[in-house]
Amino acid sequence: MSSLSYPADQVRRSDYDRFLTAIFAPPAKREPLFALYAFNLEIAKISEVVSEPLIGRMRLQWWRDALDRLDAGLDIAHQVARPLGAAIGAFDLPRTALDSLIDAREYDLERKPPADMTALLAYAEGTGAPLLELALRITRPPGAPTGPLVELARLVGTAWALVGLLRATPFHARQRRLYLPVDLMSAAKVSAGQLFALKPAPGLASVVRFIAEQAARFLDQALPLIGAVPRSGRSPLLLTPLARIYLSDLRQVEWNAFALERRPSRNLLAARLAVHAMTGRF
């Protein structure tokens, strides 16, 4: 793996699921996807490494300014910004979607849990849908319609973000962060303190299940739309079977997110995705 580009290596290390899906993209589309996903990692990790929200906002603003420079045709000597600029130019990626990703990460700096499911869905859509839309624009064959991409990205991207938040519950708890809706937690009689002590109340399972079932509904709604995307452009949508695998894992442990400390075998995941990629069945 030493021959990987910097963006590809970062994605392999920190977002292996998307790294896998990119491997199944046409060769010419892989590096642009890695650049996009590395950009997402850059802005997603800001809240984890800064000590104050103001510093985090300054870093997010750096990326807005970087996009301005790229829009102006200027070069940036940055290991992610430079290849991202190449991807933006090659595939005419819309600035609005890139800005939406940055804006969504402002929420992370507040370190406040979502008040209710509506707020959680807004966050999941903001962090998941624009990224998937951009990825689908990269893999879209020339001349293929863009119409289905936005709705597909909304459904699958939001579902994937919800699944990711559920699976990351133990990680967030160790950071004393909470992304589960306050009203659901209160109704289930689960306190943030219990989560942060890594000793959640039994009611947590009902919260996880409720959110997981919403993610599954989004995936079901997306299924009829996938056929409108040419098979050569579907690799970003391999998040769909991956999400179903992870939802099945949660179901098997009776919705106990803290029982998911061991990840599925990478080789097994790759093999299962290969089947979906070859058959076109999601």
Distance CA 19, CA 12 (A): 5
Residue of 82 and 144 predicted with greater confidence: 82
Q: Is the pLDDT of residue 263 over 70?
A: no
Distance CA 166, CA 170 (A): 9
- Asked, for residue 256, whether it belongs to a domain, the answer is yes
- Asked, for residue 229, whether it belongs to a domain, the answer is yes
Distance CA 18, CA 236 (A): 8
Composition of the chain by helix, strand, coil, percent to 5: 75, 0, 25
Q: Is the pLDDT of residue 52 over 80?
A: yes
Length of the chain counted residue by residue: 282
Per-residue pLDDT, 279: 82
Residue 131: C-alpha distances to residues 98, 113, 249 (Å): 8, 22, 25
- Asked, for residue 1, whether it belongs to a domain, the answer is no
The pLDDT confidence band at residue 143, using thresholds 50, 70 and 90, is: confident
Domain of residue 252 covers 6-279
Residue of 277 and 182 predicted with greater confidence: 182
Q: What is the mean pLDDT of residues 200-208?
A: 94
Per-residue pLDDT, 68: 97
- Asked, for residue 253, whether it belongs to a domain, the answer is yes
Residue with tokens 């603003």: 61
The per-residue pLDDT for range 93-129, each reduced to its tens digit, is 999 999 999 999 999 998 899 999 999 999 999 999 9
The per-residue pLDDT for range 2-30, each reduced to its tens digit, is 589 999 999 999 999 999 999 999 999 99
Residue with tokens 């009611």: 203
For 255, the token pair is 């919705």
Distance CA 149, CA 199 (A): 41
| CB 60, CB 106: distance < 8 Å | yes
Number of domains in the chain: 1
CATH number assigned to the domain comprising residue 204: 1.10.600.10
The pLDDT confidence band at residue 276, using thresholds 50, 70 and 90, is: confident
Note the pTM of the prediction, 2 decimals. 0.94
